[in-house]
Structure 1
């Protein structure tokens, strides 16, 4: 692959897999997360998810943490920012959004991530907004919207925005800032060490909010075999494996292109949910995938 002037690179099969695996994992996370509704409070779910992920990662990262302690100390500010934007902010805000908002509203707002990425890149990192990037972002948004309204444009007029939509808007902005920061100021650390440092930072920041939630909300934390299976899944596939893939995808493809692939998440979620319910994908899923694919192709042009 060869880098372009904007830091975007052409795709090979490895990069394509790294770009596709996270949205597929996060789509599964959305479906599994719905199963936890009513049994685990949203912020607590996020805290326990990353606590388990950190414990699983610790044996592989601890030696590297000791070896790279000087680098960790030197880049402490960036690592804290990365942990706050991803572990503590994005995931918790998304779970909070789903408690008061509808899936269609949340995923439509999440589909605007490429637009926020372009705006943050232009305002904070002095990146130029190329016409094909803007066109690709808008095309991805159209494709996702078409799937979410099931091919019936009139459904857009029925959307009713609530407080949870603001949480998802904040989550989208946080993830866009995290992606740019990871691209521009990523510390030169092995993947396990960097992710472990982000998890520890995110847990420290999330701990007071989690404690407040458990003390003030009426919703209890109900342990069961189902909850244990949910937590094991969210702590491994959409957390550790997806974050590893996301880090490598950004390193290989730049900051702009990976976020366009996030728009595949609601499409994957629709496909997985219909398959789990015994229903096959509909025609509008195909139209949405083609439109999103066209947007991604347009965005990755030199």
Structure 2
């Protein structure tokens, strides 16, 4: 990352050189969930990149359009109204500050708790019944996609039972989170050759995350050689990230992908992310079925609660897994 000096409008927000038009991830793996080869395609993508796009996922266009429309309406409200839905600790509305460790980004967001397939009753934000209903419909649908993807992972890896992975996310006490991000256009930087960091470099600590956005680009992923590439937007598809915990469960066979978001200078970006995490007491260690003869675990055993606590104490860009490597 090259940090540049910026105008007062983005004070304290890290700036990046604007993406080169040629730095596009044109080879994003695409998995057709309706294809008989989906399981192997998922495993191949997780091993190579830790990131892929899902099509033929079964989520109705109307469900996606409805939640997007309500999110745009929420973020267009006066700032004072939105602030009454915060702070985002542990859940609610947040703006620019990401977490508790001083990380900043050109965004505002809603961080929401999920219980089973819907927003938790203890999470009172958003209070608008229409928006809440749209979120619940969307979360229930995208959670089904996450289950299908994780079942495909298990099938492709030859793990039994078939719900060995999904049970961690769908079982009682699972730690699921839903996030709605809004990256306003950063017009102050237009034509200056730099862009505001929307959400800084990080990996997701959970098992899996599914992301969908409107048609505005901004998502970037880092390949294994460290090169950052822009991901072409596709509002009809879902993008799947392998999380840190899944990397450990597969003993590094799958790897969690570093990603970030660069704010657009002209267009607003809205994204929706479902994070599937296990119960806090869930033991996280390489699955015995995936350890070959004589192969040793690369990681110390820990619980999801222990890792979550360590992850959220870290800064964006930190190697969270380093302290758990053997």
Fold match, TM over 0.5? no
- Greater helix percent: which structure? 1
* TM-score computed with the length of structure 2 as normaliser: 0.25
Higher strand share: 2
TM superposition score normalised by structure 1? 0.26
